[in-house]
Structure formats: structure tokens, C-alpha cells
Chains A and B, each alone.
Chain A
């Protein structure tokens, strides 16, 4: 089981309350698709992803970004049991979506960069460390049902 200090729980929940799921999700997913274009392989049904502007303006990208952030909220509500919370989602990514778990790491790093852009000076090294720890737990949970 993951050990969270009170400071870490506070850092995660306080920042989470200020995050616009749609906007941050959209920016994170847009950046993943632009910076790591091979990730577009998972979104062949999304329509036009031909350049950064098309990706940023794509409504399916926006909707999916929000979905991803909403799911992160589940993990935050269940910080003491992320593995169980994400068991079905992990299975989905492995058995149905066939997503290479490396992509979870890319999205995690990108989300950190988006949060850094949003929160400015408030996104201190300590806050960054807490959020990277949280995302590492999320990534481990999502990768758990792969076999």
C-alpha cells in the first residue's frame, strides 16, 4: 500500500480542486499528440490530427482529455486504493485498447508540464514531487493488469 503523508494528500487535493478537468485534460492530450506523434496510433477514429492546430481544435481530443482527467479524479478520491479502483480500467487498456504502458508515462510527464504552466510559482519542486509520485502510482495501477 502506498504511504501518503498529510502534506502530500493536502497538495494533491488542494491542486485538484483548482484544476479545470476539461481545459487541463485538453491541453495535456493535445501536447501528447503533438510532442509524441506516434501516440496518434490509438486515435485513428478521431478525425483530423494532421497538425498542432487541428489537434488542438479537435472536439474528440477535448472530450477525451476531460474523460482522462475525470478518471484521475477517481484515483484521488481513492488514494489509499488506486490499484483496486483502476483494476477494470487497467484491463480495458491492456485487453481491449492494447495501449503500450509507456504512453501512460508520456501522458504523466506531459500533465506535469501542463500543471507547471497553469500554476506558476505555486508549482514548487515539492509540489511537483508529490504530483509525480501520485502519477507514478496511477501509472503502476494502470499497468497492473497487463499480462
Chain B
């Protein structure tokens, strides 16, 4: 599914994301809530105002979870197994939202890593995030 080049691209880009998971994760969520306000319904219990500590912390969590798969892409189902259960049985987030968040993450990457986020890196990452989304909705039905 991933060529050796794509795997290398994903790892190298993720190395640059790692020091910024809270800031960029928070930004991805802020973009999600601003561009697609309906996504806020999943966060009624949380302060979703721009820059909120809750959102930075959640963004950090999301980015770290995504990053946990970057070094072993062929075993995503195992790595994300408990998150897959969580999304299927507890959160039941409509899978369309994974695409919306993935888009916002790509926007953040393009925004902060303009020279590294080449068309080839964009392709690799689009596949990667789609893979994560697929695993998260794996047990939905």
C-alpha cells in the first residue's frame, strides 16, 4: 500500500511535526471548528474557543496518536486498536468528519512546512491520513 519512498516521506515529515504536536494539533482543530462549525457538536462539553487549553491538549493527543503509527504503517490496525474501539463503541463520530480533520491537518502541514510539503509528500500524507481514518472506523459495523 505504501511505497518505500512514501514511508520515508511520512517519517521525515512527521519528525518535523513532533516538536509542535500541541500547537499544530490545536491549530488543526481550530481550523476544523472554524471552517466546519458542525464538527463542534462532538465537543459540547469542551471549551472550543480559539487557543483554548482544552483544544491544544486534545490536538496534541490526536497528533501524537497519528504519529504513533508513522514508523510502522503496515500495522496501523494493531497500533490504533484501542482508539478504533473507542471511536466505534463510545464516540461514534460520523466517519465523514475524519476526512474534514484530515483536510485541516494537510492545511496545517502545507502552512508550516511549505518547502517540505511537496506534491509527493502531499500524496503520501493524504494516503496516510485516509489509512488512519479507515482504521478508526474499522469496527463501526
Contacts and interface: CB of A to CB of B under 8 A. Distances in A.
B111 A123 contact: yes
Nearest to A27: B119
A109 interface: yes
B123 interface: yes
B120 interface: yes
B50 interface: yes
B35 A125 contact: yes
Nearest to A125: B34
Contacts of A34: 119-120, 122-123
Interface string B97-136: 0000001001110110010011110110010000000000
B30 interface: yes
Interface residues of A, number: 22
A44 to B, nearest CB: 20
Nearest to A119: B111
A53 to B, nearest CB: 9
Nearest to B99: A109
Contacts of A114: 110
A120 B112 CA distance: 7
B134 to A, nearest CB: 17
Given A31-B122, A35-B119, A113-B122, A125 B31 contact: yes
B119 A112 contact: no
Interface string B32-62: 0111000000000000001000000000000
A35 B110 contact: no
A52 B5 CA distance: 13
A87 interface: no
A56 B119 contact: yes
A117 B111 contact: yes
User: Across chains A and B, which 6 residue pairs bring their CB atoms closest together, nearest first?
Assistant: A125-B34, A117-B110, A34-B119, A116-B110, A116-B111, A117-B114
Interface of B: 27, 30-31, 33-35, 50, 103, 106-108, 110-111, 114, 117-120, 122-123, 126
Interface of A: 30-31, 34-35, 52, 55-56, 109, 112-114, 116-118, 120-121, 123, 125-126, 128-129, 132
Given A52-B123, A116-B108, A125-B35, 13 more contacts: A35-B122, A52-B120, A109-B103, A112-B107, A114-B110, A116-B107, A116-B110, A118-B114, A123-B111, A125-B33, A125-B34, A128-B35, A129-B34
